[in-house]
């Protein structure tokens, strides 16, 4: 997917004017956050689980070379084939060549944010393949020619009424069909696709180094069908997905499903250890795994940003984020929105084109509080801001203002003089104790939708010196 992160402000403006989108996002995130809250409360040792998962992920990343080697050896030992892709182009090409090599015409796809990241569908369609998204949310997006706005709930930005209209236009269901009717229609179409596709593409939630297994977590059953019905299964995974042992998995599942959808466990958890064996009645004949870098090794090499690679893509930080709740995921302009996007996107795409994302946070800390692998998201947002300052990416006005502010804040006499001046001036401009003119320099933007209190005639420190100090 081509990033449009530079247009964040325009996107935000559009999102704020789209009441239908904002309503859908606010309802969706609120419901997911509530379900998470209940599921987490239900598990008294959740904090310990978080701590443990964070530690395991951090350890694995610190020794990723070793764990990747171990994983690959185990995976190949079970008959899987591994491919490496340095960037999105290589990743797309590997998959395209596999499809061509197997003479494939029809491809079914399970939900994979990585496939969105590398823009896989366009490439496959470009070489004449029929590509069918089988996750219901992704299927809706494919029908609408739209893209995901959330890591877990890709279509959270649409209302069920919008989806009913879409199905009516594209698939002929009644315009006011219920979600059950719509799902049944999609199911019938997708069932046919599973049975006729020659190749299935999936992502990977966890890769177990010890056993060479791929773990996939889902509710709809489409992943299990995608990875077992077609003759060929191609899995795509970012190189950070490895965990050491099979016995580590239960803890990760416990935090992932609770954080993502508030479930104790999802309807399906598939542990895929190699292609179909001789005695198996089903499963793919061949299993390929494409391990994608696409900027990740640079993030791994960065001692501060490395923590962001712990992410298990649960989406809890999006649901908890009051900014995401207002503007939705498309505003961020790339596959990973919300707090994790604001931290990860600059790492993967570079800070220059993504510099606004880490600024678009009130640093409220809600994301850091819910992250199941304890990524210090607020700290990393500030880290990106520091780098923006270091790289000269911040506005000149801002640099000058902060410079002047800091100069004065260390010089109480000048600070006193400047604040007297400032207060006097504001007193002149204020009306009934408030400033409200949107023409005012610097404050103008603030004043568009809010009043600003006029500073006091006398500061507290003046009042202190002029009598309060001696009162008893």
Partner 1 sequence: MRVALFVTCLADQLFPEVAVAAVKLLRRLGVEVTVPDGQTCCGQPAYNAGYQQQAREIAAHHLAVFAQADYVVLPSGSCTAMVACHYPELFDEPGQRSEAERLATRSYELCTFITQVLGVSDVGADLNGLRVTFHDNCHALRGVGISEAPRKLLRAAGAELIEADGHDVCCGFGGLFSVKFPDVSAAMARTKLAGIAATGATVLTSTDAGCLMQLQGALRRQGGSVRVQHVAEVLWQGVA
Residues at the interface with partner 1 (CB under 8 A): 12-13, 16, 26, 322-323, 325-327, 359-366, 368-369, 382, 384-389, 394, 398, 402-403, 405-406, 408-410, 412, 415, 419, 422-423, 434, 442-443, 445-446, 448-453, 455-456, 458-461, 463-464, 468-469, 472
Q: What's the closest the beta carbon of residue 449 comes to partner 1, in angstroms?
A: 4
Max Cα–Cα distance, the chain, nearest Å: 92
Q: What's the closest the beta carbon of residue 245 comes to partner 1, in angstroms?
A: 33
Nearer to partner 1, 241 or 330 (CB): 330
Measured from the Cβ of residue 335, the count of other Cβ atoms closer than 10 Å reads 24
> What values do phi and psi take at 158, rounded to 5?
-110, 145
Nearer to partner 1, 264 or 352 (CB): 352
The closest of 180, 186, 90, 100 to 137, measured between CA atoms, is: 186
Give the CB-side neighbour count of residue 82, counting CA atoms within 13 A: 21
Nearer to partner 1, 77 or 464 (CB): 464
Nearer to partner 1, 146 or 379 (CB): 379
Nearer to partner 1, 179 or 453 (CB): 453
Q: What's the closest the beta carbon of residue 361 comes to partner 1, in angstroms?
A: 7
Q: What's the closest the beta carbon of residue 368 comes to partner 1, in angstroms?
A: 7
Q: What's the closest the beta carbon of residue 376 comes to partner 1, in angstroms?
A: 12
The closest of 289, 270, 139 to 216, measured between CA atoms, is: 270
Instruction: Report the alpha-carbon distance of residue 387 to residue 383 in Å, rounded.
Output: 6
Q: What's the closest the beta carbon of residue 2 comes to partner 1, in angstroms?
A: 24
Q: What's the closest the beta carbon of residue 457 comes to partner 1, in angstroms?
A: 9
The closest of 132, 130, 140, 187 to 24, measured between CA atoms, is: 140
Q: What's the closest the beta carbon of residue 254 comes to partner 1, in angstroms?
A: 24
The closest of 293, 202, 176 to 240, measured between CA atoms, is: 293
Contact 335, 86 (CB under 8 A): no
CA angle 326, 329, 334 (to 5 degrees): 145
The closest of 235, 236, 209, 205 to 59, measured between CA atoms, is: 209
Nearer to partner 1, 123 or 320 (CB): 320
Contact 157, 21 (CB under 8 A): yes
**CA-only gyration radius of the chain, Å:** 26
Nearer to partner 1, 122 or 466 (CB): 466
Nearer to partner 1, 271 or 389 (CB): 389
Instruction: Report the alpha-carbon distance of residue 201 to residue 433 in Å, rounded.
Output: 63
Nearer to partner 1, 249 or 366 (CB): 366
Nearer to partner 1, 212 or 368 (CB): 368
Residues in Cβ contact with 462 at an 8 Å cutoff, skipping those fewer than 6 apart: none
Q: What's the closest the beta carbon of residue 62 comes to partner 1, in angstroms?
A: 22
| Structure tokens belonging to residue 21 | 């989108």
List residues bridging with 431 in a β-sheet: 434
Instruction: Report the alpha-carbon distance of residue 147 to residue 366 in Å, rounded.
Output: 26
Q: What's the closest the beta carbon of residue 331 comes to partner 1, in angstroms?
A: 9
Residue 449's SS3 state is: coil
Q: What's the closest the beta carbon of residue 355 comes to partner 1, in angstroms?
A: 10
Phi-psi bin for 432: left (phi > 0), alpha (psi -120 to 50), beta?
Answer: left
- b (16+ CB within 10 A) / e for 366-379: bbbebbbbbbbbbe
Instruction: Report the alpha-carbon distance of residue 50 to residue 29 in Å, rounded.
Output: 21
Nearer to partner 1, 105 or 458 (CB): 458
> What values do phi and psi take at 199, rounded to 5?
-145, 140
Nearer to partner 1, 9 or 127 (CB): 9
Contact 275, 200 (CB under 8 A): no
Q: What's the closest the beta carbon of residue 47 comes to partner 1, in angstroms?
A: 14
């Amino acid at each position: 997917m081509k990033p449009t992160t530079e247009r964040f402000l325009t996107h935000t403006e559009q999102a704020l004017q789209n009441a239908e989108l904002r309503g859908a996002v606010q309802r969706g995130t609120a419901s997911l956050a509530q379900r998470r809250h209940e599921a987490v409360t239900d598990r008294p040792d959740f904090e310990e689980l978080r701590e443990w998962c964070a530690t395991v992920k951090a350890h694995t990343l610190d020794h990723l070379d070793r764990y990747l080697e171990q994983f690959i050896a185990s995976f190949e030992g079970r008959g899987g084939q591994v491919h490496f892709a340095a960037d999105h182009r290589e990743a797309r090409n590997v998959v395209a060549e596999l499809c061509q090599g197997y003479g494939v015409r029809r491809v079914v796809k399970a939900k994979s944010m990585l496939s969105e990241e590398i823009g896989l569908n366009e490439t496959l369609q470009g070489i004449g393949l029929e590509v069918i998204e089988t996750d219901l949310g992704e299927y809706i997006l494919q029908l609408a020619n739209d893209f995901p706005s959330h890591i877990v709930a890709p279509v959270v930005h649409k209302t069920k009424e919008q989806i009913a209209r879409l199905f009516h236009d594209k698939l002929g269901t009644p315009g006011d069909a219920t979600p059950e009717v719509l799902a049944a229609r999609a199911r019938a179409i997708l069932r046919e696709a599973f049975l006729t596709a020659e190749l299935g593409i999936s992502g990977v939630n966890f890769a177990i180094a010890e056993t060479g297994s791929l773990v996939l977590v889902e509710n709809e059953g489409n992943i299990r069908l995608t990875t077992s019905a077609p003759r060929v299964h191609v899995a795509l995974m970012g190189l950070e997905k490895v965990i050491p042992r099979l016995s580590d998995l239960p803890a990760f599942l416990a935090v992932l499903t609770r954080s993502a959808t508030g479930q104790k466990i999802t309807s399906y958890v598939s542990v895929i250890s190699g292609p179909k064996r001789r005695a198996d009645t089903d499963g793919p004949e061949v299993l390929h795994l494409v391990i994608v870098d696409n900027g990740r090794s640079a993030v791994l090499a960065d001692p501060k940003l490395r923590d962001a690679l712990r992410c298990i893509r649960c989406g809890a930080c999006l649901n908890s984020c009051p900014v995401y709740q207002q503007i939705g995921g498309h505003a961020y302009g790339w596959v990973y929105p919300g707090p994790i996007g604001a931290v990860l996107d600059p790492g993967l795409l570079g800070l220059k084109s993504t510099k606004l994302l880490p600024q678009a946070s009130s640093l409220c800390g809600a994301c850091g509080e819910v992250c199941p692998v304890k990524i210090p998201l607020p700290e990393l947002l500030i880290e990106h801001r520091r780098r923006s300052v270091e790289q000269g990416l911040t506005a000149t006005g801002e640099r000058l203002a902060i410079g002047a502010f800091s100069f004065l804040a260390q010089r109480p006499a000048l600070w006193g003089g400047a604040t007297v001046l400032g207060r006097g001036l504001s007193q002149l401009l204020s009306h009934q104790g408030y400033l409200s003119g949107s023409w005012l320099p610097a404050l103008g933007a603030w004043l568009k939708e809010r009043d600003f209190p006029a500073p006091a005639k006398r500061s507290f420190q003046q009042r202190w010196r002029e009598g309060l100090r001696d009162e008893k």
